Structure 1
Amino acid sequence: MQKQNGSDPAKIRIGIIGIGSMGKGLVYQAHITPGVRCVAVCDTDVKRCTAVLTWLHIPHSIATSRAVMEDVTRRGEVAVCEDGLWVAECADVDVVIEASSAILPAAEFALATLNSGKHLVLMNSEIDLLFGPLLADIARKNGVVCTSCDGDQYGVLKHQIDDLALWGLDLVMAGNIKGFLDRSANPTSIVPEADIRNLDYRMCTSYTDGTKLNIEMAIIANACGLITTTPGMHGPRAAHVQDVFNCFDFDALWKDRRPFVDYILGAEPGGGVFVIGHCDNPYQREMLAYYKMGPGPFYLFYRPYHLCHIEAMGTVLQAARRQTPFLVPDYGFQTQVYAYAKRDLKAGEVLDGIGGYCCYGLIENFKENHASPGLPIGLADNVALRRDVPEQGRISLDDVSYDPARLDFALFDRAFGLPANAAV
């Protein structure tokens, strides 16, 4: 294993917020990546931080104050704390990676990071989707970068979409490969599977009920100007990604030339992503056939893996060295993920957010929600229902009592008001 010189001032200094399964991988990757150095880690459970640092034999100390934190970082150790604001505002941090799955606290950490003149890399897809346009706007005004992170499905898809543009093919579809789906999953039913995978129960629930998938596809849609052709996407079952042409009628779905997001269920290669490109040039089609890509005019390009934390440091380096984001919601809120009831919900019940017992999220086109605005799944936490909602029913903003001044609602409203959303 390559080890870092902890005191090398030329290295990009990283602070990581959230040391769950993803955060642990980020600490490891920062430790072995040339040109970067992790100087601060944060989690509400500091034992997670000290465990990974001890495992990697990295000198560290627990910071009991902001002043102590800066003393620790300046003597070449990693500072450990439980308050993300300390990391966001630490003078010895160049780039903050937000890797928690929180929303309200993470929003505060993100704002503090950008307002402190630091670059922000989001491995928190929840706040990325909810507040991404606003955070990108604040970053620009502060002369720093806020960006989604490479390594997750939407990051890998961005590379593939860029390739199609470079090659002169039209983008038809950006696709995900989902292993399994149970809309009714909850933190109790998921325990056996989560324990096998060593995952947090709520996080594993959000994977299983499809919310995370929908969030990921909404992020790439908002970055690249894609839509969904139906709420929640189609998600047909397939044995292999190469069966995709038997699953979708691309002539019909792409008749207006609007690229869209979707997924296939249960297909190999598990963990992969794919794009469908279109080419009607006779010469190129002849050559693509020669290159074993089929007769066209629709073509499948897939990557059989995404590597999460392993690929993340490229985004850090791009933000810090080149001052450019890897992935941002350039198209504003093209899509959003809205809350649907997992079971019959009664008036007065308090919703419990992503990965809970009450609701799952489905992607929808944002402009189609103006007449009856849905409740974004990221805001469906600690708000009470005003009326009954049946199982699989869509939960609207009017269905819940909420405080518009609450930070998450207020930030979402600010994001909605940005010029990027004017044409949506």
Structure 2
Amino acid sequence: MNLHELLQGRETAGDPIKIGLIGAGRFGTMFLSQVRNTPGMHVVGIADINTERAQGALQLVGWPEEAVASSVEDALAHGTTVVVPDASTLLEADIDIIVEATGNPIVGTDHALRAIRGGKHIIMVTVEADALCGPALAAEAKKAGLVYSLAYGDQPALIWELVDWARTSGFKVTAAGKGAKYLPHYHQMNPDNVWENWEFSKELTDSGQLNPYMHTSFRDGTKAAIEMAAVANAASLFPSDEGLTFTPGDVEQIASICRPAEDGGVLAHNGSVDVMSSVTRDGEWIEHNTQEGVFVVVEATNDYVSGCFTEYPWHPDPSGRFAALYRPYHYVGLELGISIANAVLRGVATGSPVGFYADVVATAKKDLSAGEVLDGEGGFCVYGKLISAETSVARGALPVALAHSVPLVRDVPEGEVVTWDDVEMVDGMETVLEMRRATVALMAKADQPITV
């Protein structure tokens, strides 16, 4: 029975999936725009400290006024939706699943842990929290008989799906990745110069509608590193300690670029993750680039399969040993229902960490001085670099998700990784530090066999 039939069964039975959404930003709003068209789903409540934003999201997607409730009890009784300022209201309610979409790794970790301990499935849209301590959260959920899942529609879950396809088809995964616009100077980008590196109109950037910190993280390499850490931890893949290559190329070149260096590609080793740039190093857009898309590269298991690679228009590498499967788009929050339905109706995740393989570490954008206070993802001080979890732990590297509002106790030169010893941690991080320690305990070693 397919998912839609299962959802229709819940609708007919008068027992829809009861959903709590925490965070009414872009992703959450996109989900809200689709969920009323999906049978068997009931958004009981939306929690956002900015209730006006949440109410505005409902208005934006055409949510009927009569479908808005005044309390959780009213929402549960009448199939309506309530807006609340405190996530605790939803975490303590009689609902099935929480969608964590705040974008804040500290808050997101706390919400996920409370949801799991309250007997609720969790869809982690806040990939920053997943990269920080997702392995431990997933282990907590598994122990409780619940699902912790990446969010379908975001690229990590879609990449994981391609990896699952490859392994289920009997292939060895050589690489998994995505496309993004990248130039080398992006690592020094900050909120003051971010719009010089985007294609938005000045009217839009001056309007205040766009968040310069968020868009800095999208281009300075941090967001790409975070997303690929989520993929690596869910798919048992080991990143290079040199970070992502952002090699320019088009869709026909995926298999040629994302193969091991010893075979003519750019990967440090087989079974890795990478991101391709959609522009040349001179900044020219590449025709048929990989922007917005996701891919997996597989290796032929024998000569017959290699022959198949070359006989069909699958754009193999010149040797015929490697080929790629590519999806050109991701529909972001519009696709989230896939994760919700899978978690509640089938008890499976659309990608979930299975170990600690990759980490995203804070790296100085400029010479930093003792006494400076780090301003986190998309700020002026650091960007996130993807390295192996093993190297991160050995070096005592500070996760980029924790490089916010913490003061430096010594200088860090530009390009150097910030370590735990370089900063003074602040109060209020007890829960996230507990889950981080539990994640480190799940660290995968480079000499462990990679899942085929």
TM-score after normalising by structure 2: 0.84
Rate the CA distance shift 1:163–1:242 in 2: closer, same or farther, 3 A: same
Q: Distance in 1 between matches of 2:259 and 2:20?
A: 46
Unaligned runs of 5+ in 2: 1-7, 279-285
TM-score after normalising by structure 1: 0.90
* Offset from partner CA, 1:365-407 (integer Å, 9 cap, x none): 1112333210000111121111111222211111111259633
Counterpart mapping for 1:61-100 below 5 A: 61=68, 68-91=71-94, 93-100=95-102
1:202 and 2:213 aligned: yes
Q: Distance in 1 between matches of 2:326 and 2:348?
A: 26
Letter in 1 for 2:312: Y
SS in 1 for 2:161: helix
- The residue that corresponds to 1:50 in the other structure is 55
- The residue that corresponds to 2:151 in the other structure is 149
Counterpart mapping for 1:18-417 below 5 A: 18-55=23-60, 56-58=62-64, 59=66, 61=68, 68-91=71-94, 93-181=95-183, 182-190=186-194, 193=198, 195=204, 198-238=209-249, 240-244=250-254, 247=257, 250=260, 252=262, 258-266=270-278, 267=286, 268-293=289-314, 294=316, 296-330=320-354, 332-402=355-425, 406-417=430-441
SS in 2 for 1:340: strand
Unaligned runs of 5+ in 1: none
Task: Check the 8 A contact 2:254/2:297 in 1, yes or no.
Answer: no
SS in 1 for 2:146: coil
Q: Distance in 1 between matches of 2:109 and 2:38?
A: 28
Task: Check the 8 A contact 2:390/2:446 in 1, yes or no.
Answer: no
SS in 2 for 1:25: helix
Rate the CA distance shift 1:228–1:423 in 2: closer, same or farther, 3 A: closer
Task: Check the 8 A contact 1:379/1:408 in 2, yes or no.
Answer: no
Residue 241 of structure 1 deviates from its aligned partner by 2.3
Q: Distance in 2 between matches of 1:76 and 1:155?
A: 29
- The residue that corresponds to 2:4 in the other structure is none
Q: Which moves more between the two structures, 70-79 or 54-63?
A: 54-63
Residue 57 of structure 1 deviates from its aligned partner by 2.9
Task: Check the 8 A contact 1:175/1:273 in 2, yes or no.
Answer: yes
Letter in 2 for 1:208: R
Residue 73 of structure 1 deviates from its aligned partner by 3.5
Task: Check the 8 A contact 1:62/1:81 in 2, yes or no.
Answer: no
Rate the CA distance shift 1:141–1:165 in 2: closer, same or farther, 3 A: closer
Rate the CA distance shift 1:105–1:60 in 2: closer, same or farther, 3 A: farther
Counterpart mapping for 1:3-22 below 5 A: 9-22=14-27
Q: Distance in 2 between matches of 1:247 and 1:421?
A: 26
SS in 1 for 2:247: coil
Identity %: 31
Q: Distance in 2 between matches of 1:204 and 1:8?
A: 44
Letter in 1 for 2:215: C
* Offset from partner CA, 1:70-97 (integer Å, 9 cap, x none): 2344233211011112112111x21110
SS in 2 for 1:337: strand
SS in 2 for 1:172: strand
Q: Distance in 2 between matches of 1:80 and 1:132?
A: 27
Q: Distance in 2 between matches of 1:319 and 1:310?
A: 17
Rate the CA distance shift 1:198–1:78 in 2: closer, same or farther, 3 A: same
Task: Check the 8 A contact 2:406/2:424 in 1, yes or no.
Answer: yes
The count of residues paired between Structure 1 and Structure 2 equals 414
Q: Distance in 1 between matches of 2:83 and 2:97?
A: 16
Task: Check the 8 A contact 1:21/1:199 in 2, yes or no.
Answer: no
Task: Check the 8 A contact 1:379/1:409 in 2, yes or no.
Answer: no
Letter in 2 for 1:180: Y
